[in-house]
């Protein structure tokens, strides 16, 4: 680190002469130590998955969930400093709830990403604070237009002015990733944490872009299996450490989660894990085979 | 507005609160102002004995001529442990505006429980009684519209202790008291049967030589019979009283609850 | 002299001019930027209202119903208003009274559900039950009446309690609460409650009642109410809450509706024989 000792890395509000904010870059380092977290935007929903590193054998298995729900239709997974992640989630929930009290409707995923991006960015501006030591992946389902205003009691005109146009739908699956700098983009597949390079390489192989793959974009259920596999692949480099796979999903109102962000059911998660392990063994065998040759 | 019409009924019914919202006779459109009280009817009474106190109340709840429910207890154990009031030896009865009654019960219960956390011992009935008076008086200008009776065991003597209250906290320790809709029916009966008012020694002559009988603490079977008679009679003559009679006997052992069905008409 | 007692002891407008409220604090209404002109105002009467809500306990759950009408005074203003609001799989609320206050409470409950969901929505998570919900609502209502700013509603909470047993209770704008095997708000208390009490005179009878009998009784009561309550309509919502969750149907039509009895009624209006 050439910057060390130059003094430009000590404060948030000071740029280095070549235009860098070193505090933000150190925050990114904190993220790079965290367990791998990924999100996949599928045709009919979003999957979030996390390689939860087990830091002590005294921790209760499958407790201490790390993927959080914001409002009812949004999931947030993050990698990096855990308490920073908690605060990020708390703020996201407040944003979602204040949006609801203003607009009487759920916050769109894009707006939440925007609000949270702005919030995280504000922590890069002042010398009195430090940036967030996390990268967060925000995934959710924006409801179709049929969903009414909160507290609405009637259904409105059925035809004519103010009536509904049949077949028109808005909303759908959305996925965003927010970094310590406050930078955020929308993604088809997002990965962060220790195993992000391997995870990204795997995500790039998936059919996720509707423009190039059209109807061939992977389904939510395929996404669940891929997510499990990718977390297992990403874990290969730190094989000596124990981990738990945490996985959540959100589908359309017509889908398996009825528009809600939920944990992937145990049976499906275990099946996905079984396939993931099998896929890894397959790779190992191939590699061994090659070596024998 | 139809949904709320029974509230109008309740406020104009002849037996409801005397301080009903002002009536409009001027010919102008009636203002539908909000009146924060209602009367839920029912009656309560308490009698203290040598080793016990009984608090009793009917279980009917009314709105005007409607019966809301046939089982809405007016008797609340105060203090003790947890939401079941395990081990409690104080009972509060409230009659009048039931929502205020509930609020009052919750406040007193909290106070009594806090007392135990802070002092490491149960509150005495005497202290609890004074505290209840203060709670009521603190809302002097927006009162809890209830007539309360508090019963327990006097710590110093081991005798039954009974306190009665008006809605703004004026209170008194008594041997017996009736409250609520049928108080005017029950109280004279208790005056006569418990305090032996207008009862004279049968052998005595008339005039100034007549000797008033001296009231003695009553035994439990006698008291239970009096309570039942008081309520079965009140049920006959008052439409807001009926359905069920709930009695709580407080002794040094704790609270014993007895339920007795009343006429449902 | 002005004989209106309200005016006694007040400065006369013709001498002193009308009352100048400029010193009064600004209104405390949310988002109000009006200059100080009036004191804080509160609801003094309901505007758009719903009529009765009925509910009945049966052996394993609760049936609840309310029609789909919101009236503006005597005008049948909105005819597709859903007055039964499911809370979670354990509980449902039926609202009578002011519709805007109902919408406020509905949003309040939604925020509660959202927060409850943060703990995860799995089967193992203990949800708020109908009793919890009723306690919460009755405290909201009592607080608002104590502030002289009432939520102008009479509501029924139906569902399952902490032991998964049927629960049914009432709460209203004064904070009054009670519970019974059958309950009705508004006109229903006069017209439907006697019919329901014949079916379930006490808790023991409710514990023996089948779901089908309960639904039949409620439907019968909805018919009576439509015939006799001028602020009712013949489309209604009906829900059953039991261990299987909330089953809500919002487009029920009154069955076998017939006004043939009408000309038999004597003794009202101009009719003398």
The residue extents of the domains of chain A are 22-292
Chain A interface includes C227 (CB < 8 A): no
The C-alpha atoms of residue C269 and residue C262 are separated, in whole angstroms, by 13
Minimal CA–CA distance to C41: which of C194, C172, C147? C147
Mean pLDDT of A50-68: 94
What lies within 8 Å, CB to CB, of A108 at 6+ separation is A142, A174
Instruction: Using pLDDT thresholds of 50, 70 and 90, give the confidence band for residue B14.
Output: very low
Q: Which domain holds residue B114?
A: 40-261
Beta-carbon-side half-sphere exposure of residue B50 (alpha carbons within 13 Å)? 8
pLDDT at A288: 55
pLDDT at B73: 97
Classify domain C48-251 at the CATH class level: alpha beta
Mean pLDDT of C132-151: 96
Q: Which residue has the higher pLDDT, C9 or B117?
A: B117
Mean pLDDT of C134-149: 96
Superfamily name with CATH number, domain A22-292: Aminohydrolase, N-terminal nucleophile (Ntn) domain (3.60.20.10)
Q: Give chain B positions within 8 Å (CB) of C231.
A: 1-3
Least confident of B168-182, B228-242, C19-33, C67-81: C19-33
Which chains contact B through at least 3 pairs of Cβ atoms less than 8 Å apart? C
Instruction: Using pLDDT thresholds of 50, 70 and 90, give the confidence band for residue C1.
Output: low
pLDDT at B15: 42
Mean pLDDT of C268-273: 64
> Above 80 in pLDDT, residue C23?
no
> Above 80 in pLDDT, residue C28?
no
Strands (E), chain C: 48-50, 53-58, 61-67, 70-72, 75-78, 84-88, 91-98, 153-160, 166-172, 177-179, 182-184, 235-242, 245-253
Contact B125, B77 (CB under 8 A): no
pLDDT at C216: 97
Residue pLDDT, tens place only, C81-90: 999 999 999 9
pTM: 0.86
Give the ipTM.
0.87
pLDDT at B19: 45
Interior angle at CA C209, CA C207 and CA C213, nearest 5: 160
The torsion angle over the Cα atoms of residues C143, C145, C147 and C151, rounded to 10 degrees, is 90
Q: Give chain C positions within 8 Å (CB) of B66.
A: 189-190, 193
Query: Which tokens belong to C33?
Result: 């930027």
Q: Which residue has the higher pLDDT, A126 or C15?
A: A126
pLDDT at C262: 79
Mean pLDDT of A113-135: 96
User: Domain ranges in chain C?
Assistant: 48-251
Q: CB count, 10 Å around CB of A239?
A: 7
Nearest residue in B to C99, CA atom: B1
The C-alpha atoms of residue B205 and residue B7 are separated, in whole angstroms, by 56
Which chains contact A through at least 3 pairs of Cβ atoms less than 8 Å apart? C
Instruction: Using pLDDT thresholds of 50, 70 and 90, give the confidence band for residue A253.
Output: confident
Q: Which residues of C are identified as catalytic?
A: 43
Q: How many domains does chain B have?
A: 1
Q: The domain spanning residue B236 has which CATH number?
A: 3.60.20.10
Q: Give chain C positions within 8 Å (CB) of B61.
A: 178
Distance from CA of C99 to the nearest CA of B (A): 11
Instruction: Using pLDDT thresholds of 50, 70 and 90, give the confidence band for residue B10.
Output: very low
Query: Which tokens belong to A126?
Result: 């002042």
Residue pLDDT, tens place only, C74-113: 999 999 999 999 999 999 999 999 999 999 999 999 999 9
Strands (E), A100-157: 134-142
Residue pLDDT, tens place only, A101-111: 999 889 999 99
- Chains C and B, touching by 3 or more CB pairs within 8 angstroms: yes
Residue pLDDT, tens place only, B103-131: 999 999 999 999 999 999 999 999 999 99
In three-state secondary structure terms, B179 is strand
Q: State whether B68 and C46 contact (CB < 8 Å).
A: no
Query: Which tokens belong to B74?
Result: 């007016």
pLDDT at B149: 98
DSSP A171: -
A/C interface, count of CB pairs below 8 Å: 51
Question: What value does the mean pLDDT of chain B take?
Answer: 90
What lies within 8 Å, CB to CB, of B183 at 6+ separation is B43, B147
The C-alpha atoms of residue C116 and residue C138 are separated, in whole angstroms, by 19
Cα–Cα separations (whole angstroms), residue B133 to B108, B130, B143, B171:
10, 5, 12, 7
What lies within 8 Å, CB to CB, of A50 at 6+ separation is A35, A36, A37, A38, A66, A67, A77, A79, A231, A245, A246, A247
Contact B99, C175 (CB under 8 A): yes
pLDDT at B95: 98
In three-state secondary structure terms, B58 is strand
> Above 60 in pLDDT, residue C181?
yes
> Above 80 in pLDDT, residue A283?
no
What lies within 8 Å, CB to CB, of C271 at 6+ separation is none
Q: Give chain C positions within 8 Å (CB) of A97.
A: 111, 114
Distance from CA of A233 to the nearest CA of C (A): 27
């Amino acid at each position: 680190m050439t910057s060390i000792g130059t003094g430009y890395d000590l404060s948030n509000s000071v740029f280095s002469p070549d235009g860098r904010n070193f505090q933000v870059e150190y925050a990114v380092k904190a993220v790079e130590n965290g367990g791998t977290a990924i999100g996949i935007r599928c045709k009919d929903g979003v999957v979030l998955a996390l390689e939860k590193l087990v830091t002590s054998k005294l921790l209760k298995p499958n407790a201490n969930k790390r993927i959080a729900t914001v409002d009812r239709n949004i999931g947030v997974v993050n990698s990096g400093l855990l308490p920073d992640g908690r605060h990020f989630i708390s703020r996201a929930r407040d944003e979602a709830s204040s949006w609801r009290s203003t607009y009487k409707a759920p916050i769109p995923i894009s707006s939440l990403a925007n609000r949270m991006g702005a919030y995280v960015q504000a922590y890069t501006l002042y010398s009195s604070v430090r940036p967030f030591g996390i990268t967060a992946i925000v995934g959710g389902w924006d409801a179709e237009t049929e969903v009414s205003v909160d507290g609405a009691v009637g259904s409105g005109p059925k035809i004519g002015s103010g009536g509904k146009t049949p077949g028109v739908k808005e909303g759908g699956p959305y996925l965003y990733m927010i970094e310590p700098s406050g930078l955020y983009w929308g993604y088809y597949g997002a990965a962060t944490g220790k195993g992000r390079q391997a995870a990204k390489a795997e995500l790039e192989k998936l059919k996720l872009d509707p423009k190039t793959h059209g109807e061939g974009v992977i389904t939510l259920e395929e996404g669940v299996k891929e997510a499990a596999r990718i977390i297992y692949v990403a874990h290969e480099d730190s094989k000596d450490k124990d981990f738990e796979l945490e996985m959540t999903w959100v589908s359309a109102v017509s889908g398996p989660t009825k528009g809600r962000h939920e944990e992937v059911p145990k049976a499906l998660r275990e099946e996905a894990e079984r396939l993931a392990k099998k896929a890894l063994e397959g790779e190992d065998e191939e590699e061994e085979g090659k070596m024998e040759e | 507005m139809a949904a709320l019409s029974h509230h109008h009924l309740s406020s104009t019914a002849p037996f409801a609160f005397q301080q009903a919202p002002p009536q409009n006779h001027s010919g102008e459109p009636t203002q539908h102002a909000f009146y924060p009280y209602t009367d839920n009817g029912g009656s309560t009474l308490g009698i203290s004995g040598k080793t016990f106190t009984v608090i009793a109340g009917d279980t009917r709840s009314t709105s005007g001529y409607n019966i809301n429910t046939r089982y809405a207890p007016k008797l609340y154990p105060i203090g003790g442990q947890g939401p079941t009031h395990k081990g409690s030896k104080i009972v509060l009865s409230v009659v009048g505006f039931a929502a205020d009654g509930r609020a009052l019960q919750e406040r007193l219960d909290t106070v009594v429980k806090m007392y135990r956390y802070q002092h490491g011992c149960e509150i005495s009935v005497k202290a609890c009684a004074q505290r209840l008076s203060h709670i009521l008086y603190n809302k002097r200008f927006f009162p809890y519209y209830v007539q309360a009776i508090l019963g327990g065991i006097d710590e110093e003597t081991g005798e039954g202790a009974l306190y009665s209250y008006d809605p703004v906290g004026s209170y008194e320790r008594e041997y017996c008291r009736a409250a609520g809709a049928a108080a005017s029916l029950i109280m004279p009966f208790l005056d006569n049967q418990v305090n032996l008012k207008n009862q004279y020694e049968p052998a005595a002559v008339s005039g100034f030589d007549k000797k008033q009988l001296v009231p003695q603490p009553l035994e439990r079977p006698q008291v239970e019979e009096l309570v039942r008679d008081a309520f079965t009679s009140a049920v006959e003559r008052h439409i807001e009283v009926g359905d069920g009679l709930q009695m709580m006997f407080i002794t040094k052992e704790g609270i014993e609850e007895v339920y007795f069905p009343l006429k449902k008409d | 002299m002005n004989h209106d007692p309200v005016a006694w002891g007040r400065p006369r407008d013709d001498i002193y001019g009308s009352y100048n409220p400029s010193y009064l604090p600004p209104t405390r209404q949310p988002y109000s930027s009006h200059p100080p002109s009036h004191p804080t105002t509160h609801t003094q009467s309901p505007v758009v209202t719903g009529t009765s809500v009925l509910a009945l306990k049966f052996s394993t759950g609760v049936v609840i119903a309310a029609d789909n009408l919101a009236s503006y005074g005597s005008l049948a203003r909105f005819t597709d208003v859903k007055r039964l609001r499911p809370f979670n799989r354990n509980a449902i609320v039926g609202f009578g009274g002011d519709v805007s206050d109902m919408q406020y409470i509905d949003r309040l409950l939604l925020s509660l559900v959202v927060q409850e969901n943060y703990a995860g929505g799995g089967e193992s998570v203990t949800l708020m039950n109908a009793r919890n919900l009723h306690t919460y609502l009755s405290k909201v209502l009592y607080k608002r009446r104590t502030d002289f700013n009432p939520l102008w509603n009479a509501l029924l909470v139906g569902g399952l309690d902490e032991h998964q047993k049927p629960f049914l209770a009432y709460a209203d704008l004064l904070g009054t609460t009670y519970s019974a095997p059958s309950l009705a708000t508004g006109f229903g208390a006069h017209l439907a409650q006697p019919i329901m009490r014949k079916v379930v005179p006490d808790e023991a009878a409710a514990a023996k009642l089948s779901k089908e009998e309960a639904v039949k009784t409620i439907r019968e009561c909805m018919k009576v109410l439509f015939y006799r309550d001028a602020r009712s309509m013949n489309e209604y919502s009906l829900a059953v809450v039991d261990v299987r969750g909330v089953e809500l149907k919002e487009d029920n039509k009154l069955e076998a509706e017939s006004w043939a009895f009408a000309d038999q009624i004597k003794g009202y209006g101009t009719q003398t024989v």
